[in-house]
Chains A and B, each alone.
Chain A
Amino acid sequence: MMDILNILMSESFWAASLRIATPLIFGVLGALLCEKSGVLNLGIEGIFVTGAMVGWMAVWLGLGLWGGVLAAAVAGAAFGLLHAILTVPLGLSQHVSGLGVTLFATSLSYFTYRTALPTVSSPPKIESFRALDIPVLSDLPFLGPVLFQQTAFTWLALLMVLLVWYVLNRTPLGVAIQAVGDNPDSVDAQGLSVYGLRIGAVVAGSALMALGGAFLTMSAFDSFFFGMVNGRGWICIALVIFASWRPGKALLGALLFGAFDALQVRLQTEVGALVPSQVFIAAPYVLSIVALVIAARRADYPRALLTPWFKGQR
């Protein structure tokens, strides 16, 4: 018991929690934006892979760190556009299209990486984002290491939470996105474009998802390897439901998740002898399912989620 308390008190634990939560924050926000407009985007897992690969490769090719961030976002947006075209004007099954995008994005990323780097034995490294070093703030006790020694990428994630919240709740665009996810006819009858709003939301959401992937290769680690996304995208889909489609709760969910993951790594070293390590490794996935089961019945689904809409067919 004391051990857990010690862990919970340590600043390294909270710093790790936020670090682990960062890609999830991007992913949950991206999925939230898509779903708020009425489109489930199961392409998320593949878009994570693409973001990780493209971001890394852009830096490796010398575009610089922020160039990598931009490249990842553009690549994610491109796959988002593919999913959006399939599901919005064509109205195809969002489930199957999303899985198709995941398979396509993943295999294309792997193929591209392998083709560009055919014979490397150990994955090449890039100079990744460094921890911020802000005078005074970074030296604060506790808060310094937890908040102000993260990388700029983590701060970008936190900024995105604010931005997505603001856009959804405080701008005409956000209100229109919320409306199109509830009842597309309401938007159409007022002369706005259902297709435009949905495609835009999916493209923007997918760009955010790709940033989650890029964080893995550009901040958390410094190289790309196969299987590194490892279900993070799917976890985000579960977390959106848990967060009831609210940006603030999404941040909370991702942080809780990060904290839990950080805790299990530390517990593993404490009680690893007693419990097989796999119990800890599986814990995040189990936790996601538990969160989903708890939240499912109370969840306030966007009413038009999964329902295609065709112009002129009221």
Chain B
Amino acid sequence: MIRIEPRAATSQAFKLGLPVLSAVIALLAAAIPLAFAGANILTAYGEMVKGVFGSLFAVSEMLTRATPLIFTGLAAALAFRARLWNIGAEGQLYLGAMAAVAIGAGAIEAPSYILVPVIIVMGCAAGAAGMVVPTVLKTRFGADEVVTTLLLNFIVLIFLQYMLEGPLKDPMGMGWPQSAPILDEGTLPGLMTRMRVHSGLIIALVAAAVAQVMLSRSVWGFKLRAVGENAPAARHAGIGVDRTLLSVAIVSGGLAGMAGVSEVAGLKGYLTADLSPGFGYTGIVVAMLAGLSPVGVVVAALFIASVFVGADSMSRSMGVSSYLADLIVSMSLLCVLIGGFFARYKITRSAPTKGEAS
């Protein structure tokens, strides 16, 4: 009889190898839809690699793509560690972006060493607010935050349409629903000349490092982990569960908001309703691939960004639907999930160890 048996401990190598293996399997599995689309598989993979690493420009594009994913990945990773299911990073990203253009597109004129920090703080605050609402609904009324954050994504997008057709509309935009551009003083400086990669990446890397330290070394991180792993025990031990969740919500929402700030103030310069091709949702995949570790988020974001940039480039040159990238990303999530099962359990033909001998 086949039995599921929990492992006492998972080796470090297993933990590190698991997401890599999942990513590889997902990439290999992409051969099936590629064949279905009638593409030469080897050529397609070659094009994908070239699209990511073929030139300095390609690498810059990949890093540019990774930047918002690090932010949304961190947003998901920290929240999930506290078992706060923030599926609303997409909406929080747009809230951050709206705050950035509301302030940075001419409302305030100031030198960049003032304007940039103000934009960042307000963008993060807007994103945080977007997560505080569902968190309070959860702690006060018991409303499941999964559903509320998902629904809030749609509400924010509709609000965005209103803002882009109304208060935030660019008067010089020839009638397009887009915001006025952010002032030069409010722009995040680029990192390389003629490349799109910008200093948002540096902020993202710093955020990941800070998150890692806070999570493992600070009292806040201790409380976050305790609440996530066993909220009743945390409450019993005198840890304010609701207060901890609220603080996590602020940080998580703030990070997602920062993704929006980084995209408008670092990359696009102005806000449209298609600023994010689902960075918020993809951040969940990034976080899961990273095993909810902040440092892992950076690596996972680079991988996912490579998939997107590589598949985009490949699909342009070979005429395969660019939805292939989303397909690979979703498959890597499913693979890492299944892999996580094998990290925690082994399947044996004997009987389980967990049953208590009493």
- A residues contacting B by CB (< 8 A) are 42, 82, 86, 89-93, 95-97, 99-101, 103-104, 106-108, 110-112, 114-115, 118, 230-231, 234-235, 237-238, 241, 276, 278, 281-282, 285-286, 288-289, 292-293, 296-297, 299, 310-314
CB pair A103 B147 closer than 8 Å? no
Q: Bound state CA distance, A314 and B326, in angstroms? A: 40
Decide if B161 is an interface residue (CB 8 Å cutoff): yes
Mostly, the B contact residues are helix
CB pair B146 A95 closer than 8 Å? yes
Q: A289-B143, A292-B148 are in contact. Are A281 and B327 (CB under 8 A)?
A: no
Cβ of B4: which chain A residues have Cβ within 8 Å of it?
89, 91, 310-311
Cβ of A238: which chain B residues have Cβ within 8 Å of it?
147, 151
CB pair A96 B326 closer than 8 Å? no
User: Restricting to B151-178, which residues have a CB under 8 Å from any CB of A?
Assistant: 151-155, 158-159, 161-162, 166
Q: A95-B146, A276-B166 are in contact. Are A118 and B321 (CB under 8 A)?
A: yes
Decide if B210 is an interface residue (CB 8 Å cutoff): no
Q: Can you name 17 A-B pairs with beta carbons within 8 Å?
A: A96-B284, A96-B288, A100-B333, A107-B327, A111-B327, A231-B150, A234-B147, A234-B150, A237-B147, A238-B147, A282-B154, A282-B159, A285-B151, A288-B147, A292-B137, A296-B141, A313-B354
**Can you name the residue of chain B whose Cβ is closest to the Cβ of A231?**
B154
A107-B326, A231-B153 are known contacts; what are 13 more A-B pairs with Cβ within 8 Å? A86-B334, A90-B338, A90-B341, A91-B4, A93-B337, A95-B146, A103-B285, A115-B321, A282-B154, A292-B137, A293-B141, A310-B352, A312-B351
Quick one: which of B144, B158, B340, B341 contacts A241, CB cutoff 8 A? B144
**Can you name the residue of chain A whose Cβ is closest to the Cβ of B39?**
A115
The count of chain B contact residues (Cβ–Cβ below 8 Å) is 50
Q: Bound state CA distance, A278 and B156, in angstroms? A: 10
Mostly, the A contact residues are helix
Cβ of A296: which chain B residues have Cβ within 8 Å of it?
141-144
Q: Bound state CA distance, A313 and B141, in angstroms? A: 34
CB pair B147 A292 closer than 8 Å? yes
Q: Bound state CA distance, A241 and B351, in angstroms? A: 38
CB pair A285 B333 closer than 8 Å? no
CB pair A297 B337 closer than 8 Å? no
Q: A100-B330, A103-B333 are in contact. Are A111 and B148 (CB under 8 A)?
A: no
Decide if B87 is an interface residue (CB 8 Å cutoff): yes
Q: Bound state CA distance, A311 and B340, in angstroms? A: 19
Q: Bound state CA distance, A90 and B37, in angstroms? A: 32
CB pair A289 B151 closer than 8 Å? yes
Cβ of B161: which chain A residues have Cβ within 8 Å of it?
278
Cβ of A82: which chain B residues have Cβ within 8 Å of it?
334
Q: Bound state CA distance, A112 and B32, in angstroms? A: 12
Quick one: which of B148, B327, B340, B355 contacts A289, CB cutoff 8 A? B148
4 smallest A-B Cβ distances: which pairs? A114-B321, A107-B326, A103-B330, A278-B162
CB pair B352 A313 closer than 8 Å? yes
CB pair A297 B141 closer than 8 Å? yes
**Can you name the residue of chain B whose Cβ is closest to the Cβ of A42?**
B146
Cβ of B159: which chain A residues have Cβ within 8 Å of it?
278, 282
CB pair A231 B151 closer than 8 Å? yes
Cβ of A106: which chain B residues have Cβ within 8 Å of it?
326, 330
Cβ of A286: which chain B residues have Cβ within 8 Å of it?
155
Cβ of B150: which chain A residues have Cβ within 8 Å of it?
231, 234, 237
Cβ of A101: which chain B residues have Cβ within 8 Å of it?
334
Q: Bound state CA distance, A288 and B7, in angstroms? A: 42
User: Restricting to B301-325, which residues have a CB under 8 Å from any CB of A?
Assistant: 319-321, 323-324
Q: Bound state CA distance, A9 and B301, in angstroms? A: 55
Nearest-Cβ distance from residue B272 to partner chain A, whole angstroms: 16
Q: Bound state CA distance, A91 and B326, in angstroms? A: 25
CB pair B330 A107 closer than 8 Å? yes
CB pair B337 A312 closer than 8 Å? no
